[in-house]
Structure 1
Amino acid sequence: MDTDDRGLLARARVATRLPAQDLDRARRFYSEQLGLEPVDERPGGLLYRCGGVDFVLFRSAGSSAGAFTQMAWEVDDIEAVVAELRGRGVVFEDVDLSGLLGGGRTTDGIAEVRGNYPSKGARGERGAWFRDSEGNMLAIGQPVY
């Protein structure tokens, strides 16, 4: 199939949007706990850039259920990232993935997930989850080859 035959979304950029009831509180969390600063800000939201990809925190009257992973960062050394974020005050979730194919429970904040979903040629992934100040469930993942 020619790439032009897949439709317009196949050529579009993905744009992650996370709700925030309090943008000032969210900005402090992303700055102090995650070490991120917005590259642009408007009254209705904050634009962040990580690894050449953008995501937005937008002012929302509603709140996130935080019942599932809404956004994740892929890293090369999950232990180092988890340790750094813990040092900044991030609290990692205890997660039980035993109901998923190849999943287990978190140990010291990190879970092993083998072969549950496509992971860029990896045989699985190691993951850690935390919530931001607005209740959004975020994750850190490291592919296992």
Structure 2
Amino acid sequence: MVRIRDAFPGFSVRDIDEARSFYGEILGLEVSDEMGGLRIVLPSGQGVFAYPKDDHEPASFTILNFAVPDLGQAVDDLNAAGVVTKIYTEPHSFGTDERGINWGSRTGQGPDICWFTDPSGNVLSLIGD
């Protein structure tokens, strides 16, 4: 049997400096250089590894979900920092409002959620508690 000491998820980015700034300054997460990439520490203490990839292709699915106590305020904060939260614009796309929020709890269709992308195009979300 393999003896595993730890495990952590990872994803690629096109530019490490851009990712460091976004995850550290915009999202306020602890970020440090590690193994040629970045160790991003989530509020739970779990580490996530972001590594540079020359031919990076953005993930077409949500790679990180951030639980927030006030979804509307969190969206306003991201928008004020220049982050676009309305990434799904077609009328049938998840039923988002003008700020990109899907108020699923109001319709019984899941959680209140808003999607956005990091500078590398990877999809992230904010989910209201």
TM-score bracket, normalised by the shorter chain, equals: 0.7 to 0.9
**1:130 alignment partner, one of 95, 116, 119:** 116
**1:35 alignment partner, one of 28, 52, 58:** 28
Instruction: Report the AA paired with residue 88 of structure 1.
Output: A
CA contact (8 A) 1:33 1:89 kept: no
The residue matched to 1:89 in structure 2 has which SS?
coil
Question: Deviation at 1:15?
Answer: 2.6
Identity rate, percent: 28
Q: Which residue of 1 aligns with 2:17?
A: 24
Question: Deviation at 1:35?
Answer: 2.2
CA contact (8 A) 1:125 1:141 kept: yes
Bigger Rg, which one: 1
Q: Which residue of 2 aligns with 1:69?
A: 62
Instruction: Report the AA paired with residue 22 of structure 2.
Output: F
Q: How many residues align?
A: 122
Distance in 1 (alpha carbons) for counterparts of 2:17 and 2:128: 30
TM-score where L is the length of structure 2:
0.76
Instruction: Report the AA paired with residue 121 of structure 2.
Output: G
| CA root-mean-square deviation | 2.7
Question: Deviation at 1:115?
Answer: 5.6
**2:42 alignment partner, one of 50, 56, 72:** 50
Question: Deviation at 1:43?
Answer: 5.0
Instruction: Report the AA paired with residue 95 of structure 2.
Output: G
Q: Which residue of 2 aligns with 1:90?
A: 83
TM-score where L is the length of structure 1:
0.69
Question: Deviation at 1:141?
Answer: 0.8
Task: Identify unmatched segments of 5+ residues in structure 1.
Answer: 1-7, 117-123
